[in-house]
Amino acid sequence: MAETMAHANDAAASAAASPAPRRLSAGRFPAFLIPVLVFYALFFGYPLARIFWQSVHGEDGFTLVGFEMFFEEPAYWMVLAYTGALGLVTLSITLVCGYAVAYWLVTMNRSWAVMLMAFVLIPFWSSGLVRTYAWMVILGRQGILNSVLLDLGIIDTPFAFIGTNTAVVLALAYYLMPYMILSLYSVMNGIDRNLMLAARSLGASPIRAFREVFLPLTRPGVLAGCYIVFMLGIGMYITPAMLGGPQQTTLPLMIAIQINEAMDWTFAAALSVILLMVTGGMQLMANRFLDFERLWGGAK
Amino acid sequence: MTRISPGRLALGAFSCAILAILIAPILIIFLVSFTPTQMLEFPPSGFSLRWYEAYFGDAMWMAATRLSFLVAGLTAITSLVIGFAISIALVRYRFPGKTALRMLVMSPLILPKIIIAVGLYFLYVRLRILGTTGALVIAHTIIAVPYVVMIVTASLYGFDRRLEWAARSLGASPLRAIWLVTLPNLRPAILGGGLFAFVASFDDIILSLFLTRLTEPTLPRQIWVNVQQTIDPTIAAVSTFMTVISVLGLWLVALAQRRSRRSA
């Protein structure tokens, strides 16, 4: 419909004005994109390609030493496994908590929900660094949690929360929770709740109506939320860096150490390639389940 | 009045707890930044602006703040120009590789930022532009363009093109029609995209860590350096300042979006 209208108007416009607005017709590559593509090739394509190139090049040319180092040392596999596990644990926590919150918000009075949404949006809009720093203030040796626990007499000496898995998981789940809630909320908001009423009126219990009608309809939101949380979770640098100890080393952390401290570009690049492979693999899986046109707000 | 089931009550209590946890750390930093004492204490024993004075009176912190504002402002401009061109191409043209283009442009949202940082680090070292303002703006543009594209494409789909054709049929050149008709109509989206890009740059830490000099850090990098050394309440004051800027910026985006949706 829009297309035919476009053509009709095209014809009208080219009859009225010269030069003919040929660019409105479909199928031609927009020339103004060429500088944009050059920009992306130089500052996005080339850096990514350079990582691959660097991962197999040392000082004396071609080498596989970066990947050999990784695969010969089980401690490095553990880093990879820890990164994945951290992503999965964070994902589970945000999914369970986020689903409850999103469901609660979507089933309440709308004006209340809009107001309560501020509790999700303000952290969502704040810098990740500030929010991670806040957890340092709370969980630090002289932090708020320790002083409260000391005052209450629950502990005698300050507990070292920082450097534990709990601290990293907590702060990471905290950071990613708004992404999950917002993904779920936007999908839940579009579900016609009369469907639930219909199920109820046909004799389904509230739980059954939820499980068999509502839950399947939220699938796109669940998948989108899981995808975003997992992808951001495994790539997160500052949370494990600020709240973890040596035991909480993740792949992004190791990459930074190789660049800043060990100055081993080949190994850093090899680790980056491994991280890229993991995210690329997840992306391929996600391509089968997710409608990216919708996720990126492309199609209406 | 409807009866509230126990299940509903439990769900409400649980959700309230989660929402409280979501806001608590930000509130705590806000309150702690007004502490009169040397140490971070909560609740603060009094009210003082000394840490804000320490922040605004410190040359190093101010230099970092200025750099962050400069980089974010420039990033907003470059990503608007690039993002607008991409959005026009995505919405109004059909060409082979369009889906690939969208994936390419959007991928920095999902790609681990450290990968982008490492790749650009390699490139910038070779080009000898590591640590320059322009180099950081380019890096931030890569991560900010997706937000501009998301907001501007959504708005372009809702734009009535007949307005533009009317201008064309009255003799305006394509660029002039865009300048005089399309752009003013897309003002909320452009404002929103620009603010989003600004905040994306302003809040970035990872690219800054790799691509700035230690002597000329951005605000987040200066926070990062200080966090490693001290638990100084100045950081709480700076953090509060940063939060106010980002939340204000993105709240304006939401407002602009809502207004444009209502008028559409």
pLDDT in tens, B40-84: 777 778 888 999 999 999 999 999 999 999 999 999 999 999 999
Q: What is the mean pLDDT of residues B212-230?
A: 89
Is B30 part of any domain?
no
Chain B residues with beta carbon closer than 8 angstroms to that of A269: 118, 122
Domain hosting residue A255, numbered range: 62-295
The reply to whether residue B25 touches residue A269, judged by beta carbons under 8 angstroms, is: no
Give the pLDDT band (50/70/90) at residue B3: low
The residue of A36, A55, A80 whose CB has the most chain B CBs within 10 angstroms, and thus the best one to mutate to test that interface, is A36
What's the rounded Cα separation, in Å, for the pair A297 and A19? 34
Q: Residue A98, Cβ neighbours under 10 Å: how many? A: 28
Among B217, B196, B193, B194, which residue's Cα sits nearest to residue B207?
B217
**Nearest-CA distance A135 → chain B (Å):** 7
Give the domain CATH number at A269. 1.10.3720.10
Q: Tell whether A289 lies on the interface with B, counting CB pairs under 8 A.
A: no
CA-based end-to-end distance of chain A: 15
- Tell me how far CA of residue A58 lies from CA of A251, A256, A271, A277, in angstroms: 21, 18, 14, 21
Q: What are the structure tokens assigned to A49, written together? A: 């390609």
Which member of B19, B104, B243 has the closest CB to residue A116?
A: B19
**A225-284 residues touching B, CB cutoff 8 A:** 227-228, 231-232, 234-238, 242, 252, 255-256, 259, 265, 268-269, 272, 275-276, 279, 283
Q: What pLDDT does A18 receive? A: 38
Does ipTM top 0.85? yes
Q: What is the mean pLDDT of residues B113-134?
A: 95
Averages of pLDDT over runs of 10 residues in chain A (300 residues) are 37 39 59 94 96 90 89 92 96 97 91 91 92 92 87 88 94 96 92 87 87 90 93 94 91 93 91 94 85 55
Is B42 part of any domain?
no
Is A249 part of any domain?
yes
Is B14 part of any domain?
no
Q: What pLDDT does B39 receive? A: 76
Nearest CA in chain B to A12: B169
The residue of B18, B51, B111, B114 whose CB has the most chain A CBs within 10 angstroms, and thus the best one to mutate to test that interface, is B114
Is A149 part of any domain?
yes
Is A291 part of any domain?
yes
Domain hosting residue B257, numbered range: 59-263
**Nearest-CA distance B37 → chain A (Å):** 14
What's the rounded Cα separation, in Å, for the pair A251 and B224? 20
Q: Which residue has the higher pLDDT, A27 or B205?
A: B205
- Tell me how far CA of residue A189 lies from CA of A99, A123, A181, A221, in angstroms: 13, 21, 12, 10
- Tell me how far CA of residue B66 lies from CA of A189, B70, B195, in angstroms: 41, 6, 17
Which member of B39, B231, B243 has the closest CB to residue A127?
A: B243
Q: What distance lies between CA B34 and its chain's CA centroid?
A: 26
The residue of B22, B32, B95, B99 whose CB has the most chain A CBs within 10 angstroms, and thus the best one to mutate to test that interface, is B22
What's the rounded Cα separation, in Å, for the pair B107 and B103? 6
Q: What pLDDT does A3 receive? A: 35
Q: Which residue has the higher pLDDT, A275 or B264?
A: A275
- Tell me how far CA of residue A9 lies from CA of A3, A6, A28, A66, B247, in angstroms: 10, 5, 18, 59, 43
Is B99 part of any domain?
yes
Give the position of tokens 């939320």. Answer: A225
Q: Which residue has the higher pLDDT, B156 or A169?
A: A169
Q: What is the mean pLDDT of residues B84-99?
A: 90
**Nearest-CA distance A131 → chain B (Å):** 7
The reply to whether residue B118 touches residue A259, judged by beta carbons under 8 angstroms, is: yes
Is A147 part of any domain?
yes
Chain A residues with beta carbon closer than 8 angstroms to that of B243: 126-127, 130
pLDDT at B146 over 80: yes
Pairing of strands A57-58, A61-62: antiparallel
Is B51 part of any domain?
no
The reply to whether residue B118 touches residue A174, judged by beta carbons under 8 angstroms, is: no
Give the domain CATH number at B208. 1.10.3720.10
> How many structural domains compose chain A?
1
**Nearest-CA distance A147 → chain B (Å):** 9
Give the pLDDT band (50/70/90) at residue B86: very high
Give the pLDDT band (50/70/90) at residue B99: confident
The reply to whether residue A28 touches residue B90, judged by beta carbons under 8 angstroms, is: no
pLDDT at B142 over 70: yes
Q: In 3-state terms, what secondary structure has residue B190?
A: helix
Q: What pLDDT does A299 receive? A: 38
The residue of A14, A119, A232 whose CB has the most chain B CBs within 10 angstroms, and thus the best one to mutate to test that interface, is A119
Spatial contact of A192 and A159, defined as CB atoms under 8 Å apart: no
Is B240 part of any domain?
yes
Is B174 part of any domain?
yes
Is A40 part of any domain?
no
Nearest CA in chain B to A287: B103
Chain A residues with beta carbon closer than 8 angstroms to that of B210: 256, 259
> How many structural domains compose chain B?
1
Q: Tell whether B122 lies on the interface with A, counting CB pairs under 8 A.
A: yes
The reply to whether residue B235 touches residue A133, judged by beta carbons under 8 angstroms, is: yes
Q: What pLDDT does A38 receive? A: 96
Q: What pLDDT does A296 receive? A: 58
Among A39, A3, A26, which residue's Cα sits nearest to residue B85?
A39
The reply to whether residue A43 touches residue B220, judged by beta carbons under 8 angstroms, is: no
Instruction: Label each residue of chain A as H, E or C.
Output: CHHHHHHHHHHHHHHHCCCCCHHHCCCCCCCCHHHHHHHHHHHHHHHHHHHHHHHCEECCEECCHHHHHHHHCHHHHHHHHHHHHHHHHHHHHHHHHHHHHHHHHHCCCHHHHHHHCHHHHHHHHCCHHHHHHHHHHHHCCCCHHHHHHHHCCCCCCCCCCCCCHHHHHHHHHHHHHHHHHHHHHHHHHCCCCHHHHHHHHCCCCHHHHHHHHHHHHCHHHHHHHHHHHHHHHHHCCHHHHHHCCHHHCCHHHHHHHHHHHHCCHHHHHHHHHHHHHHHHHHHHHHHHHCCHHHHCCCCC
> What mean pLDDT value characterizes chain B?
90
Give the pLDDT band (50/70/90) at residue B263: low
Q: What pLDDT does B140 receive? A: 97
Is A57 part of any domain?
no
